[in-house]
């Protein structure tokens, strides 16, 4: 039987293995009754409970809901991209394949980030591999006064590689690539890049259900570059604001709502100082992005009504890149589902799935939302299930 053909309860039971329900309940901070209810597929498991279960089981939520199958079930193009990316990351780190004539590489990096922000993960991976290879080659013969610049680009290329690998579920490659990114950022003597790498590592920990490590690393990412009151550099403010807001996401996953709200307040204050969304190191930060993160945090902590209130007052979301807008719509769909607006929820979800099928295939929330909202067999839920590759049980 294929993994996505099991029910959510069956998948939880299989992941639990020899661990007892009582032990899993204690590890997840849930009641034994909740574990039993989940394994017996009696009612829907809330997102906060799913996050706790994922942490306790050492698995991604997408694995629990059946959306992310084992790596062998990836599409052929994704598998080829991942193989090439893995070979390039490991070979260049070992100094293999860098004895070529240097070529221009900046364009590939920009195109890779553009593809990633647009939700075209496979294309981003192709550009990342090309840029890593070319930047590593350039570093070999770069003059001393240019080496730090090349290292900075190589750090960004390795970080992009880590993000692509993380989206494709290749966690070992993600850890390796973010480690190489950290080495290059440190050698480049660039604290902002080092902070971005730390934030990226925190995200990998988060996807790997290592919440404690994610929280610790998230603090490092913003603490190391905290601006003074008099700082006016928009790139510094945007970098700090992004990292402190992401730390709020991690705190929310830990169930620490008060800490999450405090960090969000810091992020909001920085966004207000900027007055607009600023792009830095491949990500944007400003009023729209901090509000979008606040909506996601409200949903993940069981405050759907608050999430919809924030969505109603959201600044112009056109400042967000496409992947961020997609994620925002998923958060809104989940909030609509939690407030029992099932038809509206499925409409929102189907729009994202139809317009950006490549992106949703690598996300957790579509499967969670579709299972919770698709109580009856409808044409919409069938279309969604086909796009995301999940069986709705």
Kind of pairing between the strands at 278-280 and 283-285: antiparallel
In this structure, the number of other CB atoms found within 10 A of the CB of residue 333 comes to 28
Confidence of residue 76 (pLDDT cuts 50, 70, 90): low
Backbone φ, ψ for residue 285 (5° rounding)? -140, 140
pLDDT above 80 (res 319)? no
Contacts with 360 (C-beta within 8 Å, 6 or more apart), sequence order: 326, 352, 353, 366, 387, 388
**Average model confidence (pLDDT) across the chain:** 85
For residue 316, give the 3-state DSSP assignment.
coil
C-beta of residue 137 within 8 angstroms of C-beta of residue 100: yes
Highest mean pLDDT among 45-54, 169-178, 232-241, 309-318: 169-178
pLDDT tens readout for residues 225-272: 888 877 888 888 888 998 899 999 999 988 889 999 999 999 999 999
The DSSP element (H or E) to which 331 belongs, if any, is helix 322-338
Mean pLDDT of 65-88: 71
CA distances from 322 to 154, 165, 238, 284, 344 (A): 25, 19, 19, 11, 21
């Amino acid at each position: 039987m294929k993994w996505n053909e099991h029910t959510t309860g069956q998948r939880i039971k299989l992941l639990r293995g020899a661990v007892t329900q009582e032990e899993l309940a204690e590890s997840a901070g849930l009641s034994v009754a909740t574990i039993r209810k989940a394994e017996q597929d009696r009612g829907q498991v809330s997102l906060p409970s799913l996050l706790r279960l994922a942490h306790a089981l050492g698995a991604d939520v997408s694995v629990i809901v059946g959306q992310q199958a084992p790596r062998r079930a990836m599409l052929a193009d994704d598998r080829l991209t991942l193989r090439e990316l893995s070979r390039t990351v490991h070979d260049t780190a070992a100094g293999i394949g860098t004895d070529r004539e240097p070529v221009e590489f900046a364009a590939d990096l920009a195109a890779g980030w553009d593809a990633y922000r647009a939700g075209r993960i496979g294309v981003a991976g192709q550009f990342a591999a090309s840029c890593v290879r070319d930047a590593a080659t350039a570093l070999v013969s770069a003059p001393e006064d240019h080496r730090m610049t090349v290292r900075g680009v190589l750090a960004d290329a390795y970080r992009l590689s880590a993000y692509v690998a993380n989206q494709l579920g290749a966690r070992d490659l993600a850890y390796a690539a973010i480690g190489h990114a950290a080495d290059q950022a440190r050698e480049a003597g660039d604290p902002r890049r080092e902070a971005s790498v730390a934030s990226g590592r925190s995200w990998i920990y988060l996807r790997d259900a290592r919440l404690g490590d994610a929280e610790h690393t998230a603090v490092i990412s913003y603490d190391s570059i905290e601006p003074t009151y008099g700082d006016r550099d928009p790139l510094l403010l945007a970098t700090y604001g992004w990292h402190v807001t992401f730390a709020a996401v991690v705190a929310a996953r830990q169930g620490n709502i008060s800490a999450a709200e405090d960090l969000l307040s810091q992020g909001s204050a920085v966004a207000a100082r900027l007055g607009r969304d600023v792009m830095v190191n491949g990500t944007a930060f400003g009023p729209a992005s901090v509000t979008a993160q606040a909506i996601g945090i409200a949903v993940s902590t069981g405050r759907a009504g608050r999430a919809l209130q924030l969505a109603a007052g959201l600044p112009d979301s056109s400042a967000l890149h496409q992947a961020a807008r997609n994620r925002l719509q998923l958060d809104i769909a989940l909030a609509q589902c939690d407030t029992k607006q099932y038809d509206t929820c499925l409409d929102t979800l189907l729009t994202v799935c139809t317009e950006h099928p490549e992106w949703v295939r690598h996300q957790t929330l579509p499967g969670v939302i579709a299972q919770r909202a698709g109580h009856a067999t409808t044409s919409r839920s069938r279309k969604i299930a086909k796009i995301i590759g999940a069986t709705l049980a």
